[in-house]
Amino acid sequence: MIFFELAWVLTKDTKDMLWWAIIGLTDQWVHDKITHMKYVSDIATMQRHVSRHNHRNEDEENSLSIDCMRISFEYDLRLTLYQHWSLYESICNSYYTACCFKLWTLKGQKKLQEFLADMGLPLKQVKQKFNSMDITIKENLRDVIEESSDKYGMKDIRIQTFGVHFGFKNRFLANDMVHAAAALLESTEKEQNDTTDNFIKALSSLSRNNLDCLKAGIDLAKKKLMAIQQTVASCICTNLILSQGPFLYCYLMEGTPDVKLFSKPLALTLLCKYLLKAFVHSTRNKRCKLLPLIMAAPKDVEKGTVIVVGIPPDSETSDKKNFFGRAFEKAAESTSSRTLHDHFDTSSK
Task: Give tens-digit pLDDT for 198-220.
Answer: 999 999 999 888 899 999 999 99
Distances in Å between the Cα of 94 and the Cα atoms of 79, 82, 90, 190 are 6, 9, 6, 26
pLDDT tier at 252, thresholds 50, 70, 90: very high
Q: Directed axis angle between helix 195-204 and helix 174-185, to 10°?
A: 160
User: Residue 173 and residue 23: Cα distance in Å, rounded?
Assistant: 9
pTM of the predicted structure, to 2 decimals: 0.87
Q: Tens of pLDDT along 7-23?
A: 555 455 578 888 999 99
User: Residue 315 and residue 306: Cα distance in Å, rounded?
Assistant: 27
Residue 291 has pLDDT above 50, yes or no: yes
pLDDT tier at 184, thresholds 50, 70, 90: very high
Distances in Å between the Cα of 102 and the Cα atoms of 107, 138, 170, 210, 279 are 8, 26, 33, 38, 10
- pLDDT-wise least confident of 37-46, 223-232, 279-288, 335-344: 335-344
User: Residue 50 and residue 134: Cα distance in Å, rounded?
Assistant: 31
pLDDT tier at 109, thresholds 50, 70, 90: very high
Maximal CA-CA distance, the chain: 65
User: Residue 17 and residue 264: Cα distance in Å, rounded?
Assistant: 28
Residue 159 has pLDDT above 60, yes or no: yes
Higher-confidence residue of 96 and 11: namely 96
Per-residue pLDDT, 68: 78
DSSP 115-177: HHHHHT--HHHHTSBGGGS-HHHHHHHHHHHHHHHHHTT-TT-EEEEEEEEETTTEEEEHHHH
- pLDDT-wise least confident of 13-22, 225-234, 330-339: 330-339
User: Residue 135 and residue 114: Cα distance in Å, rounded?
Assistant: 23
Query: C-alpha angle 29/31/34, rounded to 5°?
Result: 40
Per-residue pLDDT, 35: 84
Per-residue pLDDT, 286: 78
Residue 338 has pLDDT above 80, yes or no: no
Q: Tens of pLDDT along 304-324?
A: 888 989 888 877 655 666 666
- 10 Å CB burial of residue 24 (0-12, 13-18, 19+) is middle
User: Residue 313 and residue 228: Cα distance in Å, rounded?
Assistant: 19
Query: C-alpha angle 235/343/308, rounded to 5°?
Result: 25
Residue 139 has pLDDT above 90, yes or no: no
